Structure 1
Amino acid sequence: MAKFEIIVGSVLGASEYVADALQETLLSQTHSVAVHLTPELNNLDQSATWLICTSTHGAGDLPDNIQAFAEQLKTLNLSKVTFLVIGLGDSSYDTYCYGSIQMENILLNAGAKLLCPALHIDVLNHPIPEDVAVEWLQSWLNTHEQSA
């Protein structure tokens, strides 16, 4: 059993739906999981795997609910943190999934370890992004469990 912290960046709620589906998947496999809709560093376990699930807002910005958290991370040493990233976006914009790319770069610059390449979900091609995210997470879990 592993512990996961799902960190959500959302404007219109799609990332929250994805986070809920990911939480359900992890709980069904007896993992420990907490979802953070207003993430605060003090409420996160740095020994858990952080699962960033965020959309992009405006001209490539992070959603309001995750901006302060992202700024806080820029000043930290997160070398003990491992993480995964799921980005939601619309490929008709030139800032497609830029919010998740920003979060990935912030965490990498703080010393955190990315466990596999990020998943970027194009909502134009996948109107129900939860399905793609759950399939991706399940595949990662299966691979991770076999190598453990």
Structure 2
Amino acid sequence: MAHFVIVYASITGNTEAMAKAIAEGIKQNGYQVDQIIAYDAHASDLNQCDGVLIGTYTWGTGELPDEMLDFYDELQVVDLSGKKAAVFGSYDSLYGDDGIAVDIMIEALTKQGADVIADGYKIELTPNAEQLEACAAFGRWFSDQVAQK
């Protein structure tokens, strides 16, 4: 059975809500998924799963949040060759960004050899019910893509 890991950082609960909905979609497909808050995550743990999802909000005008920095640093020395991955997150355009932290994480995963199989999935501010269902659908789609290896 395919095993997935979602590592996420969330300050307001927006990205956490996305992570939970994506995880629910993965579970609906019958797969195992671990959700880990970025503070508690270790990049080396990603080697133990079939699919990786990273969720991050964008801080300020386009930075990774503090909660994600240690994980990001660890990620720089992990070989993720062939590992399928995706990144999602929330942002606030009031600060002039469009979810840049999601793009930063995509670049980091790609640099480490991961096969990022989807564009960054971004939602501005709090996801509504329709957007949360879209997150669940994304989880179902992603898990099916990984399981088809």
Give the TM interval when normalised to the shorter protein.
Answer: 0.7 to 0.9
CA distance in 1, matches of 2:19, 2:122: 14
* Correspondence for 1:51: 53
Gapped regions of structure 1 (runs ≥ 5): none
Would the aligned equivalents of 2:25 and 2:135 in 1 still touch at CA under 8 Å?
Answer: no
* Correspondence for 1:16: 16
Measured after TM superposition, the shift of residue 147 of structure 1 is 6.2
**Which stretch has the larger CA shift, 105-114 or 115-124?**
115-124
Measured after TM superposition, the shift of residue 16 of structure 1 is 1.3
* Correspondence for 2:75: 73
**Which stretch has the larger CA shift, 67-76 or 132-141?**
132-141
CA distance in 2, matches of 1:80, 1:147: 13
Measured after TM superposition, the shift of residue 18 of structure 1 is 1.5
CA distance in 1, matches of 2:86, 2:141: 13
CA distance 1:147–1:27, shift in 2 (3 Å)? closer
Higher share of residues assigned helix = 2
Residue correspondences, number? 146
Would the aligned equivalents of 1:51 and 1:85 in 2 still touch at CA under 8 Å?
Answer: yes
Gapped regions of structure 2 (runs ≥ 5): none
* Correspondence for 2:137: 135
The alignment partner of 1:79 has SS state of: coil
Kindly provide the amino acid, as one letter, of the partner of residue 57 in structure 1.
W
Measured after TM superposition, the shift of residue 138 of structure 1 is 3.1
Task: Quote the sequence identity (%).
Answer: 25
* Correspondence for 2:110: 108
Measured after TM superposition, the shift of residue 51 of structure 1 is 0.7
TM-score where L is the length of structure 2: 0.81
Kindly provide the amino acid, as one letter, of the partner of residue 36 in structure 1.
I
**Which stretch has the larger CA shift, 108-117 or 43-52?**
43-52
Would the aligned equivalents of 2:58 and 2:102 in 1 still touch at CA under 8 Å?
Answer: yes
Would the aligned equivalents of 1:4 and 1:48 in 2 still touch at CA under 8 Å?
Answer: yes
The alignment partner of 2:12 has SS state of: coil
For the pair 1:31 / 2:24, whether they are aligned, the reply is: no
Measured after TM superposition, the shift of residue 46 of structure 1 is 4.3
Measured after TM superposition, the shift of residue 60 of structure 1 is 1.4
CA distance 1:45–1:111, shift in 2 (3 Å)? closer
CA distance in 1, matches of 2:48, 2:84: 8
Kindly provide the amino acid, as one letter, of the partner of residue 15 in structure 1.
T
CA distance 1:4–1:145, shift in 2 (3 Å)? closer
Q: 2:90 aligns with which of 88, 91, 101?
A: 88
